[in-house]
């Protein structure tokens, strides 16, 4: 049983690493240009699913900081969504 738990944990870490590798260039691209609110929301939806991981949370924060004054209501929504989804687990 302990071995299966360890393997599952390793698998989850691997998934998070792969997600980071996939999302890093997307975040860099989005942060380097002007994007629509729809495109921004689409990216933040996907990042939110993995925001329990510190590296991906860093990407999430980077996007939120970049577009805070461009799309304030959208960013407020995603900050609240993060808190609702993940904050209690981090305490």
How much is the pLDDT for 88?
Answer: 72
How much is the pLDDT for 35?
Answer: 97
pLDDT 10s digits, 12-70: 999 999 999 999 999 999 999 999 999 999 999 999 999 999 999 999 999 999 999 99
pTM to 2 decimal places: 0.88
pLDDT band at 10 (very low <50, low <70, confident <90, very high): very high
The CA distances from residue 90 to 43, 52, 83, 85, in Å, are 23, 8, 10, 10
Nearest to 62 by CA among 81, 77, 43, 49: 43
CA 59 centroid distance within chain: 6
Buried (b) or exposed (e) across 50-72, using 16+ Cβ within 10 A? Answer: bbebeebbebbebbbebbeeebe
How much is the pLDDT for 89?
Answer: 54
């Amino acid at each position: 049983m302990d071995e299966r738990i360890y393997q599952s944990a390793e698998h989850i870490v691997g998934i998070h690493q792969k997600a980071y590798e996939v999302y890093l260039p997307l975040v860099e691209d989005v942060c380097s240009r002007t994007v629509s609110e729809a495109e921004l929301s689409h990216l933040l939806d996907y990042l939110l699913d993995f925001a329990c991981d510190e590296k991906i949370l860093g990407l999430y924060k980077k996007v939120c900081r970049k577009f805070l004054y461009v799309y304030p209501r959208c960013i407020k929504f995603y900050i609240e969504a993060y808190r609702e989804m993940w904050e209690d687990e981090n305490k």
